[in-house]
Amino acid sequence: MKKITIAIDGFSSSGKSTMAKALAREIGYIYIDSGAMYRAVTLYALRHGLIAPDGTVREEELVSALPDIKIEFRYVTPGEAAHTFLNGEDVERQIRGMEVSNAVSPVSAIPAVRHDLVKKQQAFGAAKGIVMDGRDIGTTVFPDAEMKVFVAASPRERARRRVEELRAKGRDVSFDEVFENVVSRDRIDRSRSESPLRKADDAVELDNTGMTIDEQNRWLLDLYNQRSQS
């Protein structure tokens, strides 16, 4: 069967990564979490003192450090999704914490950061057979993708899912703190001038607020079966 490119965009904590990973596993495609790449750049910036406590990014310094930031995905545990590596170090856990979540939106609004990561994402997808999730995959990274999905869910539901996920990993977070982060990331992601989060005209929208994980996975697999045959 001919390999296609699958772009899954949507709001933070909308469940798009869960869906994207499950589909890639089911159909034997590569899965790339583009958000992890923005998170890895943010972790680098935090570690190098390039983000002030008020969230201001030392943009010029970060941009000139971009050639020194090497991001890779490596399989660590069989059967699990790949981990994100920053300059050879497994940073999968660190990039999911609140410190990075709170700082990532301004970093991902910097045009030179986006250009650099978009180029890397396009290289990952050059041979097709890829599922990539993010905010601008269907609009900017792979505008010609054969299958595009835009995932939404209510902000409360997304915050609830994120709290559950973080607590399952042993993180002590409050609902209010996470809700605030979800709402503020939505606002920055949608209003930035460079590749704002928006549904591509030819994307299929899914609001999964009331759906189970199984239901959304089945919905996505059905769509893939239609698209890969046409």
Of 92 and 189, CB closest to ligand DC: 189
Of 28 and 50, CB closest to ligand DC: 50
Q: Which of 103, 136, 150, 178 binds ligand DC (CB under 6 A)?
A: 136
Residue with tokens 């869960």: 18
Is residue 185 at the binding interface for ligand DC, with CB under 6 A as the rule?
yes
Q: Which of 82, 84, 135, 178 binds ligand DC (CB under 6 A)?
A: 135
Q: Which of 29, 38, 73, 150 binds ligand DC (CB under 6 A)?
A: 38
Is residue 104 at the binding interface for ligand DC, with CB under 6 A as the rule?
yes
H or E stretch covering 149: strand 147-152
Q: Residue 7 and residue 30: Cα distance in Å, rounded?
A: 12
Is residue 21 at the binding interface for ligand DC, with CB under 6 A as the rule?
no
Of 94 and 228, CB closest to ligand DC: 94
Q: Segment near ligand DC (CB under 6 A), from 45-53, 56-64, 135-143, 220-228?
A: 135-143
Q: What angle do CA 198, 199, 203 make, to 5 degrees?
A: 160
What minimum distance in Å lies between the beta carbon of 127 and ligand DC?
Answer: 20
Is residue 35 at the binding interface for ligand DC, with CB under 6 A as the rule?
yes
Is residue 116 at the binding interface for ligand DC, with CB under 6 A as the rule?
no
Q: Which of residues 55-94 bind ligand DC (CB under 6 A)?
A: none
Torsion region of 145: left, alpha or beta (phi above 0 gives left; psi -120 to 50 gives alpha): beta
Residue 140 in tokens: 């900017």
Of 104 and 153, CB closest to ligand DC: 104
Alpha-carbon separation of residue 146 from 8, 43, 87, 203 (angstroms): 11, 33, 33, 10
Is residue 105 at the binding interface for ligand DC, with CB under 6 A as the rule?
yes
Residue 89 in tokens: 């170090």
Q: Where are the alpha helices (DSSP H) in the chain?
A: 16-27, 34-47, 59-65, 98-108, 111-124, 155-168, 175-191, 213-229
Q: Which of 19, 21, 22, 39 binds ligand DC (CB under 6 A)?
A: 39
- Long-range contacts formed by 53-56: CB under 8 A, 24+ apart: 55/102, 55/103, 55/106, 56/106
Of 25 and 96, CB closest to ligand DC: 96
Site residues for ligand DC per CB under 6 A: 12, 34-35, 38-39, 104-105, 108, 134-137, 185, 189
